[in-house]
Structure 1
């Protein structure tokens, strides 16, 4: 068990992945009420639960399915699904923060049957930076040499230090990386997505508090499919030793039913032309709480 004095010891950050969902969390048992239970599908209505997962502790972490839209890619042809996720990272105590976070989603046929969805687009995709900072660093390199002279048969000597100072400007930023992935096999179309958030190491302000992403899937038919997921974070040292969460079981996968109507929470979507939507319009990143539309 961790030493309770770690919080005030000034040890700084330890970038160790703290598994929050989808795998074991090797911290001491505890945390706030509700921190150790798994999120399950409602037996009466198991499809498309909106509250994907939440964990409460020194830092709260939540993920919801904001919008799920089943339709077609273009002109009512080729089945497709658009999914919008929202993540929230909320420290409950002063000075606590998340240094980095990883969210991974894998799409697969329901119960091994039916066809596997293909990931066509995501937002954000690639590498994006926020709140870039610049600072000037000076690096001095030195070497000592012997300075001497022969006079009256004796050597008068000493040492001199030669120094070279180089100034350079360095930049840092909060970084988000989004990728389309292929998991569980080394062939075929991509079936997974992942996002990584990293704090600005210079300012140490943690990852953004609110993060919205979008995924466009191509389907072969209207059979149910599901998404399994895991979300990992690296916390600052104080949070790591403060019983972030209890030991967490695996959350139920999300079941998607293409026969269900569109949610239309953020906007009204053209279900016959989901491929024409600019996913970047749905993407949102803030360091505070997002305003509901």
Structure 2
């Protein structure tokens, strides 16, 4: 019955940077006593909860202590709360700007291009009746496991959870110069209808003009979900969130790992990328 409801429910596009459902009029603001580099990027609560946190902020240089740079790592949560609700697509956008000089350039992002989410097996040894077998339980089903993003190939993309990442000029902004925007689109497995992953981690590497330049970013997210209740509850004007303010002289956070701030271009951003269909790291 739940599956029938899920499949028959109409889909609605929820632009959470401008509108949302009950509880989504919560505006994420900078703390007046500590306005820099806030951890809580955005929080929207309702039939669909969407959250984004800043995990690591690393200011340094691209290589050999030359070329000012910043590495940013973000963590997202996508949680349907209402019965028979799932999120089928999510669009994410970060744009970076500076009031004092040239906008930061988005140099690298994790999950660039088209990638699919593949399950990686975790082999366990099972002993039963004096015989030892590998690969899961007695029926041969693998236990445990994790997920990772792999480059999409034509035979995989038809029935897989997909992410498309790109480096862009700002939408509705200037149409020249270096790109200052990172975007990702998450698309559910359209055959299995499992929704988008509940947990996502992404990373961005910025090149900056000056080692002391402060800068800021704006964030947008748009989700498409099937909602089993009144359309009137979905929409309402939402104030824009405060921009995230970055100060290039602050020390690195180093929460996930230690980063060599003299050579940030050598960090493998794809190693930082993670996803899971449960709301924690795999």
Q: Give the TM interval when normalised to the shorter protein.
A: 0.7 to 0.9
Counterpart secondary structure, 2:62: strand
Seen in structure 2, the aligned counterparts of structure 1 residues 10 and 226 have a Cα distance that, compared at 3 Å, is closer
Which residue does the alignment assign to 1:79? 68
Q: Where do 1:1-293 residues align within 5 Å?
A: 12-21=8-17, 23-25=18-20, 31-32=22-23, 35-109=24-98, 112-130=99-117, 171-183=158-170, 184-221=173-210, 222-238=212-228, 241=231, 243=233, 247-291=237-281
Larger mean CA deviation between 78-87 and 52-61 belongs to 52-61
If each structure's strand is expressed as a fraction of its own residues, which one has the higher value? Answer: 1
Q: Please list every run of 5 or more consecutive structure 1 residues that lacks an aligned counterpart in the other structure.
A: 1-7, 133-169
Change (3 A) 1:254 1:240: farther
Give me the TM-score of the superposition, normalised by structure 2: 0.79
Distance 1:56 1:73 in 2: 38
Secondary structure at 1:185's aligned position in 2? coil
Deviation at 1:12, TM superposition (A): 2.2
Structure with max Cα Rg? 1
Q: CA deviation at 1:125?
A: 0.6
Q: Distance in 1 between matches of 2:6 and 2:198?
A: 25
Q: Is the 8 A contact 1:85 1:213 kept in 2?
A: yes
The ranges of structure 1 where at least 4 consecutive aligned residues each deviate by more than 3 angstroms after the TM superposition are 8-11, 13-16, 239-247
Q: CA deviation at 1:239?
A: 6.2
Distance in 1 (CA, whole Å) between partners of 2:6 and 2:56 is 43
* Partners of 2:46 and 2:95 in 1: CA distance: 26
Report the CA distance between 1:124 and its aligned residue: 1.0
Task: Tell whether the 8 Å contact from 2:274 to 2:281 is kept in structure 1 after alignment.
Answer: no
Q: CA deviation at 1:123?
A: 0.3
Aligned to 1:162: none
